[in-house]
Amino acid sequence: MESKNDVKAIAAFPSAAAADRLIAGVPAAARAARKLAEDGASAILLRIGDGAGLAETTRAEIERLRGAATVAVEAGDGPRLALPSAWEIVCATGKAGDGLVSRWLNRPISQRITWLVLAIPGIRPIHVTVFNGLIALPMLLLLLSGDDRGLILGAILYQAASVLDGVDGEMARATWRTSAEGASLDSLIDMSLNVLFVLGLTIHLAVRDQDAIGWIGALALAQMIAGNLLIARRVRARGAPLGFDLYKRRGAPRGGIFDLAYRAVQVLTGRDCFAFLFMVLTVTGLERIALLIFAGVGTIWLIYIIVSALLPTPPAPRGHGMAS
């Protein structure tokens, strides 16, 4: 970091400890530098009241977040920059495309988890992404255990994974760590969890009931895999990170019963919705109904994906983030 004579923005902290203090996973001094740079400052001076040196992690974060601005650090006093609280930052990490369950249930829970997790020094979104992926193994084992208690616990664990799915994206947005690679890994884990859950549920019901429900589950599983492969192929052709958002609202009909049906399928095929629905129906002993609903809606969803795949590929938007 270097200093210039024409300092255009100054932010002061009473001590190095105050400047090093984490606010939603980012040191206060680095968050101040980012804000001043975004406000147009080309040269930033950070003044530390007690003259102590900043921690190496704080200096590294300032370097990461300063953009094109130059940043200098010196002893002294000056104007204090008002920064948002950690909770205010986390509350701003929601997404406009959140489904009903995500907006009213999952996001309020995941944001509280994010607020707690970001207080841990050194924690990164990738750590939560990998942890969420590791849930797949106990979930699948519970579903294949053969008893109803395992089935219920597996469904609850699947819903828990759906809630935790929001944490890594919230962390990434709160700390400016979004990336195409993170978005793709997050979506890949989401798809894998979905497939493994339907696979485990189908095998459980096929062995337990020994009737047509196994074939219905196999149909739902085949539709899910085929649709995901088409999405992956489409996304790759578009040059965008792997994700579910590519087909949202694309070519949506306007008005009337068709618009209502389209939006209903959009809601029901959202992971937040069907994870919650599967959990509720499984806990209440209606897991067969859940699989029937999923297979029926999945047929409509796959038709929509196939039709959309035949349309011209739109260009990828600039700036991809963690898709959660």
Is 142 in contact with 153 (CB distance < 8 Å)?
A: yes
What b/e string do you get for 212-233 counting C-beta neighbours within 10 Å, with b at 16 or more?
ebbebbbbbbebbeebbebbbe
**Strands 22-23, 26-27: pairing kind:** antiparallel
Same domain, 119 and 64: no
Cα–Cα distance measured from residue 138 to residue 132, given in angstroms and rounded to the nearest whole number? 11
Same domain, 47 and 98: no
pTM: 0.85
Same domain, 267 and 200: yes
Average pLDDT over residues 10-27: 96
Domain for residue 296, yes or no? Answer: yes
Q: pLDDT: is 78 or 316 the higher one? A: 78
Average pLDDT over residues 216-223: 95
Same domain, 275 and 221: yes
Same domain, 160 and 58: no
Domain for residue 316, yes or no? Answer: no
Domain for residue 286, yes or no? Answer: yes
Average pLDDT over residues 61-80: 95
pLDDT tens-digit map of 83-134: 999 999 999 999 887 888 998 999 999 999 999 999 999 999 999 999 999 9
Give me the number of domains the chain comprises: 2
Confidence of residue 249 (pLDDT cuts 50, 70, 90): very low
Among 75, 97, 132, residue at a domain's last position: 75
Domain for residue 64, yes or no? Answer: yes
Q: Is 210 left (phi over 0), alpha (psi -120 to 50) or beta?
A: left
Q: Supply the range of the domain harboring residue 172.
A: 88-309
Average pLDDT over residues 136-147: 94
Res. 321: pLDDT tops 50: no
Among 51, 75, 99, residue at a domain's last position: 75
* CATH number of the structural domain spanning residue 180: 1.20.120.1760
The three-class DSSP label of residue 101 is helix
Res. 169: pLDDT tops 70: yes
Same domain, 41 and 190: no
pLDDT tens-digit map of 260-310: 655 666 666 678 888 999 999 999 999 999 999 989 988 988 888 888 777
**Strands 9-13, 43-48: pairing kind:** parallel
Domain for residue 56, yes or no? Answer: yes
Same domain, 117 and 195: yes
Same domain, 50 and 92: no
